[in-house]
Amino acid sequence: MNDLILEEFKKNALFRLDESLRMICIALGKIEDDVLWKLPFSNGIALGSQVLHSCGNMTQYIISSLGEQEDLRERDLEFVVDESKTLDHTIQKLKETVDTSKRTIENATQQQYIKVRMVQGFELSGVGLVLHAVEHFSYHTGQITFWVKQLTNEDLDFYDGKELNTNNS
């Protein structure tokens, strides 16, 4: 793998993780603790569980697999409603997980990006692990922000002050 391509891949993966974290923090800043564990419908997933599930996925795919650490994930626990966990605690857990994931991405060697591993029954290279985790986090970012918009009936202003109707140059 070309060093320049690997560095560009890392840079963009880190940017996407930061963007999702930024958006989730803005969205969760619009709610109170009592909403964090509310189910959107009977078989829905609470906002708190969405965050914990995102943390579990990043931990398994990036920190454990790419970083070659022991995989201790207990996926089913991510979906248990736990009202003892506050909004602040949940956001802090997400920030710590993203920070550790980013360090793992930054520090992984070319060999770790090429190496193929089995995770959740899927055979993925290190590049595939990062792509999966970033895409998965982005997917849940959309779900979280949608649910917060439904609850608050507010625009989240992710790009407030940015002109997004500019053409490519």
Q: Is residue 68 part of a domain?
A: yes
Q: Is residue 19 part of a domain?
A: yes
Mean pLDDT of 106-128: 97
Assess contact for 119 and 129: CB atoms under 8 A: yes
Domain boundaries, position 90: 3-152
CA dist., res. 76 & res. 80, Å (int): 7
Could you tell me the two tokens for 41?
């419908």
**What's the length of the chain?**
169
Q: Is residue 83 part of a domain?
A: yes
Q: Is residue 100 part of a domain?
A: yes
Q: What is the pTM of this model?
A: 0.94
CATH number of domain containing 93: 1.20.120.450
Q: What pLDDT, on a 0 to 100 scale, did the predictor assign at position 1?
A: 63
Q: Is residue 159 part of a domain?
A: no
**Number of folded domains that form the chain:** 1
User: Which helix or strand (DSSP H or E) is residue 9 part of?
Assistant: helix 3-28
136 pLDDT above the threshold of 90: yes
Residue in the block written with tokens 């993780």: 17
Q: Tell me which range, 74-88, 128-142, 144-158, is most confidently predicted by mean pLDDT.
A: 128-142
Q: What pLDDT, on a 0 to 100 scale, did the predictor assign at position 97?
A: 98
CA dist., res. 147 & res. 110, Å (int): 39
CA dist., res. 39 & res. 43, Å (int): 8
Could you tell me the two tokens for 68?
């070659």
What's the pLDDT tens digit per position in 87-116?
A: 999 999 999 999 999 999 999 999 999 999
Phi, psi of 58 (to 5 degrees): -65, -40
Q: Is residue 120 part of a domain?
A: yes
What's the pLDDT tens digit per position in 51-77?
A: 999 999 999 999 999 999 999 999 988
121 pLDDT above the threshold of 90: yes
80 pLDDT above the threshold of 80: yes
Assess contact for 86 and 32: CB atoms under 8 A: no
CA dist., res. 162 & res. 147, Å (int): 24
Q: What pLDDT, on a 0 to 100 scale, did the predictor assign at position 93?
A: 97
Q: Is residue 110 part of a domain?
A: yes
What's the pLDDT tens digit per position in 36-56?
A: 999 888 888 999 999 999 999
Q: Is residue 157 part of a domain?
A: no
